[in-house]
Amino acid sequence: MGQTIIEKIIAHNIGVKSVKPGDIVTVNVDRVMLDDIMIAFVNKKFEEMGFSKVWDPEKIVLIYDHFVPASQVDDTRAYKAGDDFVDKYNIKNIHRSDGICHQLMTEAGYVKPGDIVFGTDSHTTTYGCVGAFSTGIGYTEMAGILGTGQLWVKVPSTIKVTINGNLPEGVYSKDVILRIIGDLTAAGATYQALEFCGDTIENMSIASRMTISNMAIEAGAKCALFTPDSKTAEYCDITLNEFQMNLVGDEDAVYAKELVYKAEDFVPNMACPSQVDAIKPVSELKGTKIDQVFIGSCTNGRLEDLQAAAAVLKNKTICPYVKLIITPASRKIYKAALADGTLEILSKAGAMITHPGCGLCCGRAGGILTDEEVVVSTNNRNFLGRMGTSKVKIYLASPATAAMCAIKGEI
Amino acid sequence: MSESFTGRVWILGNDIDTDIIIPTDYLALNTVKEMAPFGFSPLRPELASLIKEGDIIVAGSNFGCGSSREQAPEVVKALGIKAVIADSFARIFFRNAINNGLLLIECPGLSQIVKEGDEITVVPGNHITYEDKDYPIASLPENLMEILKAGGLVSAMRARNGLTD
């Protein structure tokens, strides 16, 4: 019988011919990602468990991003905890101000197609963009992996999403995933894997695929997988091996559900306050007054996102009462956007350009809002209180849509 | 875990996310005990102060969706909640709760039946009783029961490393 991508990855990892949904298996972990928010808690649990050394210092990546730069005095405690952990256990990979964890994990080459990766952040699903099984876990489980290199998982069933055709002008992968989350609902893919295929997906850049895998968790998914191709190989700077080339859903694989879309049917979408699955076409929200626009995050803070915003904002000026905050996802992206003139266009239009990192997306600094204020944002969550007080209204959109809103002062 | 218990119910809706359970702002606090008074504050600021030891949360679908913050189930436990019963749970929250010894029970539809403030009786792995009517519930898979029985993943790993609690 045929297999889905996630079944192939898990079977390969544990050295068996096949697995089926519902099987509970123990996998060998290829890489883990720890962030600044969780490191102190992971370390505490690790020591409580009685471990004296980590299973493999090379396979552990520690990234400071949520608290960088510190916005409250207490934040610096996370750096101290992280630095102590690195020294004590001889951890090889640490990033203190290079950007958002989910950008760096693939950008810096820590994740390869077919890998199994766990991280202490829910958007760890992002690495599915290169065909890796990656998902978020809590700090106690992470502590267990640090000691053993293993974790139990239940093999998920798979929802197959096929998209063929050409996306209309002004429609991006963000609009695609918002629509899919709306169709599936916020819990619609809970415990399940999403698998994306079709020529629309094949034609997407890795950056665009990342936006989709990043937001898969907003439908509850365990992971979101894309078949590795020549773009993946180039992005990861590898030659795909036989196993990696075979990471495609078999024709006779069994799927829990199949969704089929025509790319031409997609429109610019927004997730409305305060649920990620409250999706409406932008055309239905026209005229809604806004106070701020945020373009950034691990969802949409990449070079092509900044370029899409710059294409809209070139030779234009933003609305006088709107604050436009732009946060590149990593230092590498920041430098590239500086070199190609993108940041200059954005700055001339009236944008504030911040240091790379999580920025406003985690609601701790860099533009938090107050009651009744409205923000259009390119990140992944519009939950109550995510970007300031619980009465802030957050609309999620693509960078191009967000940039247009910044000019008009309304949706 | 298998002994029955009775508790007062707090009703919550669908998609209770981890930013509601404990907002990011409070994650920088030193201990979960310090975070607990801010539990559920974006939704119901008064709730944390009203919850008493042994109370039960009954919620709709997708409880615990959102981020992977393990402080979420820890805050629920620190507030004294004995069990969370929901139509369904988000995946990461589910794992985190088990790993911290917080009992979760799926019982679809119960949140539409029970009234806030009423008492229910839970017989784990068997049924829930409310107003003389029984609602069946499933038992957890064996590997999760082992972690719960050990008192959480930390205790299970300590045992693996030859340490006793």
User: Which pLDDT score is estimated for B149?
Assistant: 80
Least CA distance to A368: which residue of chain B? B25
Q: Strand ranges (DSSP E) for chain B?
A: 5-11, 56-59, 83-86, 103-106, 119-123, 127-130, 133-136
- From A219, A243, A263, the end of a domain falls on A263
Q: What is the CATH number of the domain that holds A161?
A: 3.30.499.10
Residues A118 and A80 in one domain: yes
Q: Is the ipTM beyond the 0.90 threshold?
A: no
> Which residues in chain A are closer than 8 Å to B29, comparing Cβ atoms?
74
Residues A251 and A304 in one domain: no
Same domain as A236, residue A280: no
Q: Tell me the pLDDT band of A180, cut-offs 50, 70 and 90.
A: very high
Closest-CA distance, A324 to chain B, in angstroms, reads 23
A257 shares its domain with A351: no
The residue among B73, B78, B126 whose CA lies nearest residue B95 is B73
Distance CA A120, CA A126 (A): 13
Boundaries of domain holding A67:
5-263
Contact B100, B73 (CB under 8 A): yes
What are the DSSP calls for A208-240, one per residue? HHHHHHHHGGGGT-SEEEE---HHHHHHHTS--
Residues of chain A found within 8 Å of residue B91, distances taken between Cβ atoms: 190-191, 220, 222
When mean pLDDT is compared across A18-27, A226-235, A375-384, the lowest value belongs to: A18-27
What are A42-63's pLDDT values in tens digits?
A: 999 999 999 999 999 999 999 9
CA-to-CA distance for B43 and B36, rounded, in angstroms? 14
B153/A122 Cβ within 8 A: no
Q: Do B51 and B10 meet the contact criterion of CB atoms below 8 Å apart? A: yes
Do residues A94 and A201 both lie within one domain? yes
Do A281 and A232 share a structural domain? Answer: no
Cβ contact A279:A153 at 8 Å = no
A26–B contact, CB cutoff 8 A: no
Residues 5-64 in B contacting A (C-alpha not used; CB under 8 Å): 14-15, 17, 19-20, 23-25, 27-29, 42-43, 61-62
Average pLDDT in chain A: 96
Q: Are A291 and A322 in contact (CB under 8 A)?
A: yes
A260/A257 Cα distance (integer angstroms): 10
Pair (A222, A302) in one structural domain:
no
CA atoms within 13 A on the CB side of A155: 23
Q: What DSSP string runs through B71-106? A: HHHHHHHHTT--EEEES-B-HHHHHHHHHTT-EEEE
| DSSP string for residues in A164-197 | ES-PPTT--HHHHHHHHHHHH-TTTTTT-EEEEE
Which of B27, B68, B157 has the CB atom closest to A136's CB atom? B68
User: Same domain, yes or no, for A170 and A276?
Assistant: no
Mutate to test the interface with B, among A140, A298, A362 (most CBs of B within 10 A): A140
Q: What is chain B's pLDDT, residue by residue, as a tens digit (165 residues)?
A: 468 999 999 999 999 999 999 998 898 898 999 999 999 999 999 999 999 999 999 999 999 998 888 999 999 999 999 999 999 999 889 999 999 989 999 999 999 999 999 999 999 889 999 999 999 998 877 778 888 888 789 999 999 899 876
Chain A and chain B share a number of CB contacts under 8 A equal to 124
Contact across the interface for B24 and A45, Cβ inside 8 Å: no
Domain B5-139 has CATH 3.20.19.10: yes
Phi, psi values for residue A382, rounded to 5°: -120, 30
CB distance B161–A144 less than 8 Å? no
Decide if A131 touches B, using CB distance below 8 A: no
> Does the pLDDT at position A399 exceed 60?
yes
Question: Within 10 Å of residue A26's Cβ, how many Cβ atoms?
Answer: 12
> Is A187 near chain B, with CB under 8 Å?
yes
Last residue of one domain, picked from the residues A263, A282, A307: A263
Selection from A9, A379, A108, A138 nearest residue B96 by Cα? A138
- Chain A contact set for B143 (CB, 8 A): 24, 152
- The answer on A310 and A174 residing in a single domain is no
B157–A147 CB contact, under 8 Å: yes
CA distance A101 to A60: 13
Q: Looking at the structure, do residues A158 and A19 belong to the same domain, yes or no?
A: yes
- Per cent of chain A over pLDDT 90 is 93
Give mean pLDDT, residues A214-218: 96
B158 touches chain A (CB under 8 A): yes
B145 at interface of A, judged by CB pairs closer than 8 A: no
pLDDT in tens, A323-374: 999 999 999 999 999 999 999 999 999 999 999 999 999 888 889 999 999 9
Contact A43, A91 (CB under 8 A): no
User: Which residue(s) pair with B5 in the sheet?
Assistant: B122
Q: Which of these, A220, A134, A24, A190, lies nearest to B144 by C-alpha position?
A: A24
What does pTM read for this prediction? 0.89
Q: What is the pLDDT of residue B49?
A: 97
| pLDDT tens, position by position, A275-327 | 999 999 999 999 999 999 999 999 999 999 999 999 999 999 999 999 999 99
User: pLDDT tens, A59-95?
Assistant: 999 999 999 999 888 899 999 999 999 999 999 999 9
Pick from A66, A187, A390: CB nearest B65 = A187
Burial class (CB in 10 A: 0-12, 13-18, 19+), A381: buried
All structural domains of chain B with their residue ranges: 5-139
Going by C-alpha positions, the residue among A276, A280, A272 that lies closest to residue A374 is A272
Contact A120 B67 (CB under 8 A): no
- Total of domains in chain A: 2
Does residue A279 share a domain with residue A215?
Answer: no
Same domain for A171 and A279, yes or no, is: no
